[in-house]
A and B are shown apart, each in its own frame.
Chain A
Amino acid sequence: MRRAWQSVLLHVALVAGAVVALLPIVWMIAASFMPTGEATTLPPKFIPSNPTLEHYRAVFTRLDMGRYLLNSTLVALLVTGTSLVINAMAGYAFAKLRFRGRDVTFRVLTAGLMLPVQVVMLPLFLFFKQLGLINTYWGVIIPSMASIFAIFLIRQYATAIPDDLLDAARIDGASEARIFRAVVLPVIIPILATLAIWTFLTTWNDFMWPLIVLSDERRYTLPVALANLLGEHVQDVELMMAGSVLTIMPVLAVFLFLQRYYIRGIMAGSVKG
């Protein structure tokens, strides 16, 4: 009996939490379909009286969000692709290859994890200015091409690969590049899937750095463009909500689609497989 009550209470609390978390998103989606002005009426409405797609049309035509969507997609895909390759190679090397200074380098790297991103932004900006990378896509992409956190995660995962497996491949005649490609990569796929999703999400949502680096409006990514538009269109709540839906939909889709890999990756190593 007591267990049943506990279960009921737990579920009530969970449902309440879920409602609190989901309500703004539900309202955002609903508001994006409302005719102009309806979203600001009191009491707030959750169902559009007369659903319309006019704001979505405006978002693409008047506000040119299509271009920003393309910018964001380009940046997020390039960052995800390159960072996966670089981080996987680095993480594997730190885990399994013997070279001078390996452990010292890794310790210095992990110490870098303690630096807040904001602290690095100014020096990085000045550095990139000298390199002529300000206001380019590369200026947004390059800093994300390697991530200490991702290297650390892959290293932890790759450490579990038995040395004998790599030695067996060496005796079988595989080159180091081949070992990485044919033996290591297939084994670390779960952690790579997790990182792919995580990298895509964080890059897509990144606001601060693209805002600093990009000055030409045509190169803006979605979050930057949206914030910019918010200033001009503070009255057009429905229009802004349509823009917001457009911004979060791709990441939501990616997450929902790949969440089982994501969860599996997070759980990896905790249970003996």
Chain B
Amino acid sequence: MAQVTLEGVRKVYEGAHGHVAVHGVDLDVADGEFVVLVGPSGCGKSTTLRMIAGLESITAGKLSIGGRVVNDVPPKDRDIAMVFQNYALYPHMSVRENMAFALKLRKMPKTEIDQRVREAADVLGLTTELDRLPKQLSGGQRQRVAVGRAIVRKPAVFLFDEPLSNLDAKLRVQMRREILALHRRLGATTIYVTHDQVEAMTMGDRIVVMSAGHVMQVDTPGALYERPANRFVAGFIGSPAMLFLEGTLTTNGSPRFVAEGGAPSIALPGAVASGTRGSGNVVLGIRPEHLHLASEGPTSADQSALDATVDLVEPLGGEALVHVRAGGHELTARTRSRDLPEVGDRIQLVADGRRVHLFDAASGDVVRAGR
């Protein structure tokens, strides 16, 4: 068991352009914690994981695992195990040999190897597949073997590099649950990379959101959703994504946001965070779940009504997404109402002024978080 600490860890690729893949990551992963690195492709999350694994050299900064600085320690001596996106099973070895390979290299006695492989196979439901070759297995089974290969080693830290992206949607949900159950059972520190924010939200104790080589925010799933630190995190976490309106903030009298073009206009109850310029260009963010149809119920004092024209209605069964156009801006409301409008209808939407976020138009940093 071990904690993992990154202090200003950077990765710059050699070459004429000196491409910076990761700009100084600071991160503390507690012993036994499940931390997810998430971000769009090319954000540096996999590079960060590969630096922790020892597969990429660290250009600058300090990486320690279990209190020991391991910048120059080869992967095999870092007490880590890794599961890869495309399984990376040895194609000419049986399931049993795949799992036993690392133990054999460590010159572990044969009886202990057998026992550990059997235990892992038991946990993962692979007991009957032990003598098969990887090509005779289904995708889900292959990924289980890859997980098995990691757990037989009983490492201090598990690293997962997008392990579920090659699986179909249903299997992905199932494997997600299995990996979490395994984590609870083994209690090992786990660092998990994914580009899928749903995977990140459902699995991580804490989530590290990355973009263009920078860490945007590190927090629990709930906090990322409720209090995103900047526009990137706000737009990345949550599905359907948060909507953004560019406009101005006026604080003469009661604070109010007016979108470009004069409409829509949303009242912002409660004080705007101190340190905010009294007025100026801001970006307002609101989640579809905080926009309602006016027909759903009475409007309270904190809410603003917006006039809109319906562009598209997407019924999803339990709920529906209503895409509208309001004052030249596109918005989406998420509603549980059964009385859905038709395309082209002129309707009223209600925005919950307490739940909107405001971001600085230039930097994208949050100036007022929703409640």
- Which positions in A face B, CB cutoff 8 Å? 162, 164-165, 167-174, 178, 182-183, 186-187
Contacts and interface: CB of A to CB of B under 8 A. Distances in A.
B309 to A, nearest CB: 50
Contacts of B86: 162, 164
A186 B53 CA distance: 26
B301 interface: no
Contact of A173 (B85, B88, B91, B106): B106
Contacts of A165: 88-91
A187 B92 contact: yes
B273 interface: no
Contacts of B90: 165, 168-169, 182-183, 186
B153 to A, nearest CB: 8
B82 A168 contact: yes
Q: Which of A165, A178, A187 has the most CB of B within 10 A?
A: A165
A261 to B, nearest CB: 16
Q: Which of A168, A170, A183, A186 has the most CB of B within 10 A?
A: A168
Given A162-B86, A164-B85, A178-B105, A171 B92 contact: no
Given A164-B86, A186-B92, A171 B105 contact: no
23 contacts: A164-B85, A164-B86, A165-B88, A167-B82, A168-B82, A168-B149, A169-B101, A170-B76, A171-B54, A171-B55, A171-B76, A171-B80, A172-B76, A172-B105, A173-B76, A173-B102, A173-B105, A173-B106, A174-B101, A174-B105, A186-B91, A186-B92, A187-B91
B364 interface: no
B55 A167 contact: yes
B144 to A, nearest CB: 15
Nearest to B155: A171
B259 interface: no
Given A162-B88, A165-B88, A173-B106, 18 more contacts: A164-B84, A164-B88, A165-B89, A168-B88, A168-B89, A168-B90, A169-B90, A170-B55, A170-B74, A170-B75, A171-B76, A171-B81, A171-B102, A172-B102, A174-B101, A174-B105, A183-B90, A186-B91
4 cross-chain pairs, A with B, having the tightest CB-CB distances, nearest first: A173-B76, A172-B102, A164-B88, A168-B88
B84 A168 contact: yes
Secondary structure at the A interface, as helix, strand, loop or mixed, is helix
Q: Which of B53, B76, B86, B89 has the most CB of A within 10 A?
A: B76
A111 to B, nearest CB: 24
A167 B161 CA distance: 12
Interface of B: 50, 53-55, 74-76, 80-82, 84-86, 88-92, 101-102, 105-106, 149, 153
A100 B55 CA distance: 18
A183 B88 CA distance: 11
Q: Which of A164, A167, A172, A178 has the most CB of B within 10 A?
A: A172
Nearest to B150: A171
Q: Which of A165, A173, A182 has the most CB of B within 10 A?
A: A173
Nearest to A173: B76
A137 B84 CA distance: 49
Contacts of B106: 173
A171 B80 CA distance: 8
A172 B101 CA distance: 7
Contacts of B101: 169, 172, 174, 182
A174 B50 CA distance: 17
A174 B98 CA distance: 13
A81 B53 CA distance: 37
A173 B75 CA distance: 7
A172 B89 CA distance: 12
Contacts of A178: 105
Nearest to A100: B14
B19 to A, nearest CB: 15
Contacts of A183: 90
A167 B47 CA distance: 13
Contacts of B88: 162, 164-165, 167-168
Q: Which of A164, A165, A178 has the most CB of B within 10 A?
A: A164
A156 to B, nearest CB: 18
Contacts of A162: 86, 88
Given A178-B105, A187-B92, A172 B149 contact: yes
Contacts of A187: 91-92
B91 A171 contact: no
Contacts of B82: 167-168, 171
A174 B86 CA distance: 20
A170 B149 CA distance: 13
Nearest to B102: A172
A173 B150 CA distance: 12
A162 B82 CA distance: 15
B155 to A, nearest CB: 9
A92 B208 CA distance: 37
A171 B76 CA distance: 5
A168 B163 CA distance: 13
Contacts of A173: 76, 102, 105-106
A162 B134 CA distance: 15
A187 B84 CA distance: 19
A167 B84 contact: yes
A178 to B, nearest CB: 7
A10 to B, nearest CB: 36
